[in-house]
Copies of this chain bind each other. A is one copy, B any other.
Amino acid sequence: MVADIQRRKLVLALSNAKGSIPLYMQIKDMLVARVTEGEWAPGDIIPSEIQLARELNVSQGTVRKAITELVENNVLVRRQGRGTFVATHDNDRALFHFFHIVDDSGSKNLPESKTLSCRRKPASRQEASKLNLSSRAQVVCIERIRNLDNQPTIIERIILPTALFGDLGKRQARNLPNTLYELYETQFGITIHRAEEQLRAVAATDRDASLLGLEPGSPLLEIERTALTLGGRPVELRISRCSTSKHYYQNTVL
């Protein structure tokens, strides 16, 4: 442990000698590394700014600048007087952060979910490519239907690499929780950090239509989301088909 810190000091000293990369960035990278490597798990408190500053032989303000950027990136959460914590998916912000469907009055509610199926299969070419898997790797494929205001509104197909979510397919087959990202975090140690979404308008298939109680051919909003970890590794592919007769997808462009 002490040796570990010594090594770190050495590394910092060396890269500092090289000159170019600012101290606070090196510290930032080091903090990210310690989070991704699991030294600090989501929800854990990390050492105080002063402790880190002592450990790394820099001033508190320098550590602070590194932490500030990680707070802006949603990696850490600060609470004055308490400490700094690794961000989790169990607080309100995180729960709603990746969900963009809003009802016509503008209010956002999390939908209930009913799992239709949960099985293993080889990844399709497209799935393998989007998840960076070798072709024909095994994936878990979950299908569920989600209700908003007691109306079936969204059909979701979720693709996960079996390599990462091995026993999810077997153990929890049909009683999956509503908020999957919390499950990934607590059960599999995988924290979703950001996502890329591709939206298209598509026509409802016969199956879509019967599940959602619409006419076949009705326009649906298709959202194809690739969810990534802090390290940028894609770990979930999720394709949602939404009826937008009473809801819409909300996006704020800052």
Chain A residues with a Cβ under 8 A of chain B = 72-74, 97-98, 100, 102, 194-203, 217-222, 224, 242, 244, 248-254
Nearest residue (CB) in B for A222 is B201
- Give Cα A217–Cα B242 distance, bound, in whole angstroms: 17
Closest to A74 in B: B254
Given the complex of chains A and B, what is the CA–CA distance between A237 and B54 in angstroms?
54
Instruction: Flag if B220 contacts A201 (CB, 8 Å).
Output: yes
Interchain CB contact under 8 A, A219 and B202 = yes
Residues of B within 8 A of A252 (CB): 194-197
Residue of B97, B218, B224 near A253 (CB, 8 A) is: B97
**Assuming A253-B98, A254-B73, A254-B74, is B196 touching A221 (CB within 8 A)?**
no
Number of copies: 2
Q: CB distance B203 to A219 under 8 Å?
A: yes
Whether A200 contacts B217 in the complex (CB less than 8 A), given A195-B253, A253-B98, comes out as no
How distant is A230 from chain B, measured CB to nearest CB, in Å? Answer: 12
Contact check: which of B72, B198, B220, B244 meets A249 at CB < 8 Å?
B198
The interface centre, meaning the residue of A73, A217, A254 with most chain B CB atoms within 10 A of its CB, is A254
Q: What is the bound-complex CA distance between A129 and B76, given in angstroms?
A: 39
Measured in the bound complex, the distance between the Cα atoms of B222 and A244 in whole Å is 10
Alpha-carbon separation in the docked complex, A159 to B217 (Å): 31
Q: Are A201 and B244 in contact (CB under 8 A)?
A: yes
